[in-house]
Amino acid sequence: MSGPQPGLSSSTENQDVFSVSQAEFSQPNPPSSPLSEESRRRGRRLAIASHPLGMTFSMVFTQHLPTLALVALGASETVVGLQSALGIADLLRLPALRAVSVFSKRAILIAGQATALLAALPMLAFPWLLEASRSGASHAVAIALLSLMGVVAGMRFSDTVWFPLLRSYVETDAIGRFFGTLRSGWHFALILYYAAASLWLLKDPMGFGPLFAVAWVLGVLRIPLIRRLPERNERTGERIRAREAMALIVHNPRLRRYLTGVGTAAAVRGSVVPFILVMMRREIGFSDGEILYTTAASFAGGLASLYLSGRLVDLFGPTALFRVTAIGNALLIASLVGVEQASPLTLAGLVGFFFAFSAFTAGFGVADTHVLFGLTPPEAPARTLVIALTVSAVLGSTAPLLAGIALEHWLSQPGTSGRVVYHVFFLIAAAIQCCVFWPLRRFQKKEPGGEL
């Protein structure tokens, strides 16, 4: 996932928004009782235990490794942008909302995971795809892309209920600590995975097949754990309609401000990261194994940041964290103009870039989740969570596709320096990133019994 993630209103505005939402979206049956403390503890334990397995599977099939695999198959910048844009499958969350009122969240979670596992099978046969590509067959890239599309679709359908499940396990004043712990687990798992993957690719530069196979097995192992997750029932007998979720944006100005800031950050991040990898491989000349060192560094940066960020946002609120992380990432993106040639020093600098960029991104994500859960009613969280995650994900997915098309056009111009094109692109992205903090600047610490 791959958070993805306002301002203060007067108490009168908050009451008006709450009244409109209650009147328009009232349900015929009352929401179920909150989970017992024992069930919530069990839910937190199972979530923390299962998440490294699920996120390793998800990240390996949706993030950096598929980008490198597609480049190995000869994919163009547009195809790489399209792969990065597959997160637009988050739109599936909206029709999936209907299923929340009919099926258990566990059933939806497992169905999406199983679908993703089936769709991922062609990537396990990567050696055959590579052989077909080398023989001049154009279908290898298409098969890989279709497989990745299926994985993303299955995971996005499954993820529709993941945050609503977690919302029932944690109180608002402990959100930062819980998500710091939850995300630290899968960051640590991915550090180990990508460190091993780097060594493997240095030994076998085109050996992507076994790497996908290991992640696939981890995805299978997640299923027995998520089958036992407790849940707070939202099956009220009335369908949860996508248009009702969309209407929340119209009626809640705080949600609009949140989505503006978080969506812009997602768009910049989704556009920049895949094309750093493409630039490193095609323009600078690093190997796939060397590039994966930066991927391991990115998860190490997130791990280093998560717990501290969680504590800070619980104690002081999200505003300062939004400011520091948004501006910090803008400066880091601008620094990419200094990347000129392959050398140990350049590689070390890029490893440091990914560590710091991920540390800021993880901190931003903790603040983002803190705000989002504060905007979400705990008795029926699906509408708010799904529309928020969908909007930010669509922005974060559309941007890299547009960036890929633009980059391929610029790079095709006669006499154009590829490095100069990428440097200009990164400067534009840095300028946009500087604006991320503005709509989020007014979100403060949630007071006990108050509104965020």
Average pLDDT for runs of 10 along the chain of length 452: 39 37 43 76 91 94 89 86 78 73 86 96 94 86 93 89 83 73 86 90 89 97 94 61 68 87 92 91 87 88 86 85 94 94 92 95 90 76 76 84 90 86 95 93 58 45
Report how far residue 335's alpha carbon sits from residue 136's, in angstroms, rounded to the nearest whole number.
38
pTM of the model: 0.69
Number of neighbouring beta carbons within 10 Å of residue 231:
20
pLDDT value at position 172? Answer: 64
Distance CA 116, CA 270 (A): 21
Q: For the purposes of burial, counting CB atoms within 10 Å of the CB of 368, is it exposed (0-12), middle (13-18) or buried (19 or more)? A: buried
Tokens 């050996």 correspond to 207
What's residue 185's pLDDT? Answer: 87
CATH superfamily of 38-229+239-440: MFS general substrate transporter like domains (1.20.1250.20)
Left if phi > 0, otherwise alpha if psi is -120 to 50, otherwise beta: which for 252? beta
How many whole angstroms separate alpha carbon 207 and alpha carbon 127? Answer: 8
Q: What pLDDT is stored for residue 299 in this prediction?
A: 86
Q: What is the 3-state secondary structure (H, E, C) of the chain?
A: CCCCCCECCCHHHHHHHHHHHHHHCCCCCCCCCCCCHHHHHHHHHHHHHHHHHHHHHHHHHHCHHHHHHHHHCCCCHHHHHHHHHHHHHHHHHHHHHHHHCCCCHHHHHHHHHHHHHHHHHHHHCHHHHHHHHHCCCCHHHHHHHHHHHHHHHHHHHHHCCHHHHHHCCCCHHHHHHHHHHHHHHHHHHHHHHHHHHHHHHHHCCCCHHHHHHHHHHHHHHHHHHHCCCCCCCCCCCCCCCHHHHHHHHHHCHHHHHHHHHHHHHHHHHHHHHHHHHHHHHHHHCCCHHHHHHHHHHHHHHHHHHHHHHHHHHHHHCCHHHHHHHHHHHHHHHHHHHHCCCCCHHHHHHHHHHHHHHHHHHHHHHHHHHHHHHHCCCCCCCHHHHHHHHHHHHHHHHHHHHHHHHHHHHHHCCCCCCHHHHHHHHHHHHHHHHCCCCHHHCECCCCCCCCCC
Q: For position 385, what pLDDT does the model report?
A: 78
pLDDT at 445: 58
Q: Which amino acid is at 268?
A: V
Predicted pLDDT at 446:
52
